[in-house]
Amino acid sequence: QAKRFGGDRIEPFRPAYKTIGSGRLQLESDLRRAFERSELSLAFQPIVDLQSEKVAGFEALLRWEHPRRGSISPAEFIPIAENTGLIVTLGQFALEEAAKRLSDLHRATGDNRFFMSVNISSRQLIRQDLIANVRSVIDRYKLAPQTLKFELTESMVMDNPERSAQLLAKLRDLGVGLSLDDFGTGHSSLAYLMRFPFDTLKLDQSFLRNNSQPQRPIIVHSIVTMAHDLGLKVVAEGIESESDITQLRDLGCEWAQSFAFSPPIPFEMARRLLVDRSASLKRAS
């Protein structure tokens, strides 16, 4: 990950933070303080009902606005947070904030069907207190449990399959949703992954994007069909082309989450989107 940027030249003015050499250590200590300095926030990306093209919910995504370096991608700081254990603090912040925002949205719209999806990392999942923390936010914010969803990737559950299965079952017992994130980037079969109590599959964007073989529509068709046959709902991530959107809609794929509809946005915009325009999005392309 850190190698990606290469080079070791000191650049005095960098628009984006680069994790090179000691930069990574600096980033790590900065991240520890970022939390206390309120540099972390959540952005909310609409998840759109493909049939109606109305917003059905949001994925909460962490954002870090570094005072000198500007915005730092979670693709950079989440792995650091995971390696240092800081992810537990960050994850708890994301859970609390997302739950609070979800209750704000329900209150602002008078519609408590909108959902909020929160990413969980494996370090968080195996912690004893996650279940209690989830129960706590549901109680404190008076949420219908099914409007809170958690996203986990295949590699996270495969880190510790036995323990993950137990904890996911406990989460499921609380009534929250469980989404298998980034499906198509790992190596496990969907049949194997069904031993975990997921109710939703998020088809990874790279699956569609890096795949231009003529058989692609057939593969997409069979995955969506198999997911549905297994009782899973499907979110297509990052779909861009009109033909992909049409194919997935025709297949009965429930939702799309993509820049084609909306990038992640600040909470106030998300709230206004629901309140002012009855949650309908014009597609960008």
Q: Which residues bind ligand C2E (CB under 6 A)?
A: 45, 61-62, 73-75, 78, 91, 94, 119-121, 151, 181-182, 205, 238, 240, 257-259, 264
The interface with Mg ion within residues 153-182 (CB under 5 A) comprises 181-182
Indicate the residue among 21 and 266 with the shorter CB distance to ligand C2E. Answer: 266
Site string for Mg ion, 110-129 (x = CB under 5 A): ---------x----------
The interface with Mg ion within residues 181-200 (CB under 5 A) comprises 181-182
Distance CA 231, CA 80 (A): 35
Out of ligand C2E, Mg ion, none, which partner does residue 76 contact, by CB within 5 to 8 A per kind? none
Is the Cα dihedral 132, 137, 140, 143 positive or negative? negative
Buried-exposed string 75-100: b where 16+ CB fall within 10 A, e elsewhere:
ebbbebbbeeebbbbbbbebbbbbbb
Indicate the residue among 164 and 258 with the shorter CB distance to ligand C2E. Answer: 258
Whether 180 contacts 198, CB under 8 Å: yes
The terminus-to-terminus CA distance of the chain in angstroms comes to 31
Could you tell me the smallest distance in angstroms from the CB atom of residue 275 to ligand C2E?
Answer: 23
With CA atoms as reference, report the closest residue to 80 among 19, 37, 130, 143: 19
Residue 260 CA from chain centroid, whole number = 17
Indicate the residue among 145 and 186 with the shorter CB distance to Mg ion. Answer: 186
Could you tell me the smallest distance in angstroms from the CB atom of residue 209 to Mg ion?
Answer: 12
- List contacts with Mg ion (CB under 5 A): 119, 151, 181-182
